[in-house]
Structures are given as structure tokens and as C-alpha cells.
A and B are shown apart, each in its own frame.
Chain A
Amino acid sequence: MGHPNLATLALYAGGELGALTRWRMERHVARCERCRAEVEAFERTRQILPDLAEMPEVPWNRLAAEMKANIRLGLEAGECVRESRRLQPEWPRVTGIRAVVALASVTALLVTGMVLERPAPAPAAGDDSLVVQATGNGIQIRKGGQVLRLMNPNGMEASGQVTYSPDAEGSIRARYIDPQTGYVTINNVYAQ
């Protein structure tokens, strides 16, 4: 087997190859130092990705409102342009197909907004080890694609009032004052 390309190595690092290809890659990577280094680099990157994917306090509602406002502005600007075009009948008119394309674009924006509004599930760790960590909005234990997450109340993260305390045995605590109950609350997840 020659050196696989980078895309195949990336898929292998993510555990996303079929059984036969994976078996062949395992044999190759075990012997080839260069490819092994590439796979390890991909694995390191994947380990960082969950942190990068966490965007805890992104104000989606505000962003959605801004997007809608921009779309409205664009449509209104379009209306202004259309008015001036009406004064110039020699210019081509907006056809039915163009209108459908424009509406489809707006719809795509709305659907994208809906998808972004929902919190995404944590990506897989890429291995079978147990990982405990603080996320953007709580603490979690993850194994493969399975996650158990204890959440902080909404908005706590932005206020910087959550204290995280991991321990080397494999647990992590999040401590905050619950704004609804007024009590100090300590969430804990354990890998043991």
C-alpha cells in the first residue's frame, strides 16, 4: 500500500473509514512513521475541536434579529432600485424565476438560522476514552458519541460567576449561585 492521501488519513483519524479500509490503514500507519505523525496531528486537532465548537453565549436571537433586519433592509433597498428601474422600461424586468430564486435564498437563510438556533450535540471524541470537561454552558462527561451534561442556568457563563474545579481522578465540578433558588449549587460529573 502506498502512502494514503491526507483526506483518507483525516477520515482514519476520525474513525470514519469502513472496516476494510480501516484495517489496511492500521497496518500501514503501524509501519509508516510519516503517516502516523499525520494521523496524530489530525487527532490532536480533533481533540481541540469540541472546545472550538462551543460557543456558549452567542446571542442567536439577537443575531437572527439582525439577520432579519438586514434582509428587510436588503428588500427595501431592492424596492428602491425596482422603483428606479420602473422608470427605465428598457431594462429587463424581474422574471418569475428570479423571484423564486430570491425567495429560495431568503428561505435558506431562515432555515440556516433555525438550525443554528439549536445547540449542536457534542462531536464525538474520536476514541473510547472518557473525557470530562467544562463546556460553554455546563460540565460534561463524554464517551464516543454519548454525552451526559449538567447545565448551568442560562446566562451564568457570560456573567463569569461559575467556578470550575476538575480533579485528576476524572471528575469536574461547576459551582454557581442559582439565580432562581438563590442557593449555591454544585454540579459534578464523574468518570469513575
Chain B
Amino acid sequence: MRNSKLAGITVLALLSAAAAAAQEGPLPSGSVSINLPKDSPVALLSLASDPSRTSMRGAAMVLDLHMALTLRNTGTARIRGVTLRVVSQEVAMGGKGSVTIPSLNVGPGDVFPVRIDMQLVRPTQIAGGPLVVVDLDGVLFQDLSFYGPDRLNSRRYLTACEMEAQRDREHFKHILAQSGKDGLKQAMVASLARQAELQPLTVRVRRGGAAVASAALAGGEHLAQFAFLQFPGSPVEPVQGFAQVAGNEARAPMIVVRNASAKPVKYVELGWVVGDAAGHEYLAGSLPSPNLTFYLPAGNTARLEQESTLDFSSGGQPVSVRQMTGFISQVEFADGKVWVPNRQDMENPMLRKVLAPSAEEQRLSDLYRRRGVGALVEELAKY
């Protein structure tokens, strides 16, 4: 009897000690600040952050933030996309995040939810002021006009998403008109199957000193050349490109592109596919042109290059890079218009294997999966 009492006290004491060590608690008030401009076309109706907590893990403080925002379209135009910028002044110096909701169809006066789930790990010292600031980076409207400071190039990204959305809605509307609901069903089933078969690739991007040190130690580093997929309608053509490759690392990619259009270009993005020795291919990521300095007049050539190191793995195993293929995935002209590949371009057998569908195709196929072809037909009819 005395033993069992002693054991009970021991258990309680140990559990109490463990709980005290965790030092969990709610977020301090004022931890999150939501800043929307006075003339913003969206207004904050509510913010819930109840499950958010702080806890100590060793010498670090972990902040789990779960925010549910409800926004209202207070403007007069339909909203197609929104980007919120998420900044922590003290964590990951120079780093920031964003949450984008593309493929919206929010009319004036309508409300829509945005969820932000984030975690910060930081030294224990807490300075004054909000830990996280959320502000509006931009809103894209139905007519492709834009509102916002655009510090994260949301205008271009949301416009590209909307161009892809229009392209894919037209594609599925065409299938519906040509082949009826059965044809649309088949297209959706094929899309879902393709999404399920995509081979995930884990990519880590490093910028800064470690990239050079890491590359320097890789004895087998060599200059590897890109092959290219050419799209007939692309305003920009890839000419040649290289990257330093060692094992599963690729460093300092450089691509020469030529503006084949009649208009100056201010942004080019190249999709990057890597293949391993076993013949598997993966979408590694993209190589964007530098944002501030890039300007490519009609007929001219320019270089896209980044001083970064990417390493690739799949299923926890390094993916040794044996071949690299590039294709132009996005172009923004100096007048703000955006080009994206068309559906025929995307039918390339390699791209079909590695490229995820657009956000809109993902949304439409998910709608089909959850609610059937009738709901999908209704949805397409709204546009």
C-alpha cells in the first residue's frame, strides 16, 4: 500500500516536472498584427487565433500560430486572387512568407476565409511589439487590374495563375461541349490519376556561404548542360544553359534566353526538370530572372543566373543528377501582360509526367472528386 502511494507521488512529480519544462502557454496579447490599408478592397471581418501557443524547447522558443481570417470584398469588382504577406521581424533574418489564394471568384460584398498556420522557432529573448505582422501584398480582380504594394511580385504571380485558370476552364468547357459530361468525367479522372502519379522530389535551396563551401568539397563537380523543350508560341526561347553538378547537387544555374517576340520582356521563368540514372524524371523547380535588374528588349539575349545551390532527394534518398531539361514556363512583358504555355505545350510527354496541373485544374478536379460532374458543370457555367 505504501509502495503504491509512493509510486503515485513519483509519477505525479515526474509529470509535473515534464509539464513545467515544456512551459506552454497562450500567445502574449498583441503578438499578431494584421495591417490592411485604409483604401484596401478587402476588410478584415474577424480573426481567430485561439489554438495558438508558445512553448520552450531547450534553448529555443517555439510559437505555433493558427490564424483564421475572414475577409470581405469591400470593392466593386470581383476578386480573383489575394496574397497576404507574413513577416516575422526577428525570426530567420531576411526571411518572410506569404499566403496566396488564387482561383477565387468573390463578388462585391462577399466574404471568404483565409487560414494561416505557421511556426516560428527563435531564441528565447522576446523584444516588444508584434511577433508576426500580416499585411496585404495584393488583390487581383476579374479584369486583371491589381491593387496592393506588390512587394512580393504578387501581381505577376496572381496574373499568371489567372491566365492558367482561364486556359484550363476553356479547355474543360471545350471538352464538355465536344464530348458531354462523359468526356468531362474522363478528363477529370485522367487529371486526378496524373496528380496521383507525380513523383515527389524534395529540393533544398541554399543561398550564402554554405553553398560555396559545399560545392567546393564536392570533388566530382562538373559543368552539366541543359537540354530544352521549345514551345512554338513562346515569346522567349532558351538558347543554352549550364549548371555545376555534383551528385545530387546543382549549383549556380545559368541559362541564356532570347526574346523572340516584338515586345520587351521584364521577367522570364524557366521550368527545370532533372533526370536520374534510372531514367526517372522530376520537376526540380524553376529558375527565375532577377526581379529588379532584368530587362530584355525584343530580339536580344540575356542570362538567367542564380548563385544558389539546390540539392535533390526523393523518398529520403539522394537523386543523382544525370540530365537536366529546361522549358520556358512564364514570361512577363514590360507592359505587365503575362504569357503562360498553352495546353498543347503542356501535352509534351515529359511534362505530363512531371508537371503538376494548374491551381485551377487542381480545384476543378477536386470539386469533381468531392461533388461529382454535375457540380463541376455548374461551376464551369459561372465563368
Which residues of the other chain, B, contact A171 by a CB distance below 8 angstroms? 205
Distance of A92 Cα from B369 Cα, bound (Å): 66
Distance of A164 Cα from B94 Cα, bound (Å): 21
Distance of A93 Cα from B209 Cα, bound (Å): 65
A20 interface residue, CB < 8 Å from B? no
Which residues of the other chain, B, contact A128 by a CB distance below 8 angstroms? 208-210
Mark out the residues of chain A between 97 and 136 whose CB falls within 8 Å of any chain B CB in the assembled complex.
99-100, 103-104, 106-107, 110-111, 114-115, 118-122, 125-134
CB pair A150 B117 closer than 8 Å:
yes
Distance of A174 Cα from B376 Cα, bound (Å): 25
Distance of A192 Cα from B207 Cα, bound (Å): 9
* Segment from B96-104, B168-176, B333-341, B345-353 that makes contact with A: B96-104
CB pair B95 A118 closer than 8 Å:
no
Mark out the residues of chain A between 168 and 192 whose CB falls within 8 Å of any chain B CB in the assembled complex.
168-172, 175, 177-178, 180-181, 183-192
**Residues of B within 8 A of A (CB-CB), count:** 87
Distance of A52 Cα from B318 Cα, bound (Å): 12
B15 interface residue, CB < 8 Å from A? yes
Which residues of the other chain, B, contact A143 by a CB distance below 8 angstroms? 92-95
B303 interface residue, CB < 8 Å from A? no
**Chain B positions 191 through 204: 1 when the CB is less than 8 Å from some CB of chain A, otherwise 0:** 00001101011111
Which residues of the other chain, B, contact A47 by a CB distance below 8 angstroms? 204, 214, 311
CB pair A111 B119 closer than 8 Å:
no
B239 interface residue, CB < 8 Å from A? no
Distance of A97 Cα from B24 Cα, bound (Å): 34
B277 interface residue, CB < 8 Å from A? no
CB pair A177 B362 closer than 8 Å:
yes
Write the nearest CB–CB distance from B376 to chain A, whole angstroms.
14
CB pair B206 A131 closer than 8 Å:
yes
Partner of B92, one of A96, A119, A147, A183: A147
Contacts A40-B217, A121-B62 hold; do A177 and B92 have CB atoms under 8 A apart?
no
B301 interface residue, CB < 8 Å from A? no
CB pair B206 A185 closer than 8 Å:
no
Contacts A100-B3, A170-B207 hold; do A147 and B55 have CB atoms under 8 A apart?
no
Write the nearest CB–CB distance from A120 to chain B, whole angstroms.
7
CB pair B214 A187 closer than 8 Å:
no
A90 interface residue, CB < 8 Å from B? no
A21 interface residue, CB < 8 Å from B? no
Partner of A133, one of B86, B203, B283: B203
Distance of A127 Cα from B3 Cα, bound (Å): 51
**Chain B positions 50 through 62: 1 when the CB is less than 8 Å from some CB of chain A, otherwise 0:** 0000010111101
CB pair B99 A186 closer than 8 Å:
yes
Mark out the residues of chain B between 23 and 65 whose CB falls within 8 Å of any chain A CB in the assembled complex.
55, 57-60, 62
Distance of A152 Cα from B118 Cα, bound (Å): 9
Task: Considering the complex, give the chain A residue whose CB is closest to the CB of B104.
Answer: A183
A167 interface residue, CB < 8 Å from B? yes
CB pair B99 A185 closer than 8 Å:
yes
Write the nearest CB–CB distance from A138 to chain B, whole angstroms.
8
CB pair B92 A184 closer than 8 Å:
no
Distance of A175 Cα from B10 Cα, bound (Å): 48
Distance of A66 Cα from B102 Cα, bound (Å): 42
Write the nearest CB–CB distance from A150 to chain B, whole angstroms.
5
**Chain A positions 135 through 166: 1 when the CB is less than 8 Å from some CB of chain B, otherwise 0:** 00010011101111111110000001101111
CB pair B93 A181 closer than 8 Å:
no
CB pair B95 A180 closer than 8 Å:
no
Which residues of the other chain, B, contact A180 by a CB distance below 8 angstroms? 113, 115
Which residues of the other chain, B, contact A185 by a CB distance below 8 angstroms? 99-101, 114-115
Which residues of the other chain, A, contact B203 by a CB distance below 8 angstroms? 133-134, 164, 166, 172
Contacts A100-B10, A153-B117 hold; do A118 and B57 have CB atoms under 8 A apart?
yes
CB pair A150 B118 closer than 8 Å:
yes
Which residues of the other chain, A, contact B60 by a CB distance below 8 angstroms? 121, 145
Which residues of the other chain, B, contact A164 by a CB distance below 8 angstroms? 200-203
Task: Considering the complex, give the chain B residue whose CB is closest to the CB of A162.
Answer: B200
Distance of A188 Cα from B286 Cα, bound (Å): 14
Which residues of the other chain, A, contact B288 by a CB distance below 8 angstroms? 167-169
A44 interface residue, CB < 8 Å from B? yes
**Chain A positions 65 through 77: 1 when the CB is less than 8 Å from some CB of chain B, otherwise 0:** 0000000000000
Which residues of the other chain, B, contact A160 by a CB distance below 8 angstroms? 196, 200
CB pair A100 B359 closer than 8 Å:
no
Task: Considering the complex, give the chain B residue whose CB is closest to the CB of A111.
Answer: B18
CB pair B91 A147 closer than 8 Å:
yes
Which residues of the other chain, A, contact B214 by a CB distance below 8 angstroms? 43-44, 47
* Segment from B120-128, B139-147, B178-186 that makes contact with A: B120-128
Query: Can you give 11 contacting A-B residue pairs, CB < 8 Å?
Result: A37-B217, A47-B204, A119-B119, A126-B210, A127-B210, A130-B94, A138-B119, A170-B207, A188-B97, A189-B96, A190-B96
- Which 8 pairs show the lowest CB-CB distances between chains A and B? A129-B208, A129-B210, A103-B7, A141-B95, A166-B285, A147-B121, A151-B117, A133-B204
17 new A-B contacts at CB < 8 Å, known A129-B211, A148-B97, A167-B287:
A96-B3, A107-B14, A114-B18, A120-B57, A121-B62, A128-B210, A133-B203, A143-B92, A146-B121, A151-B117, A160-B200, A163-B356, A166-B286, A168-B310, A170-B205, A181-B112, A181-B113
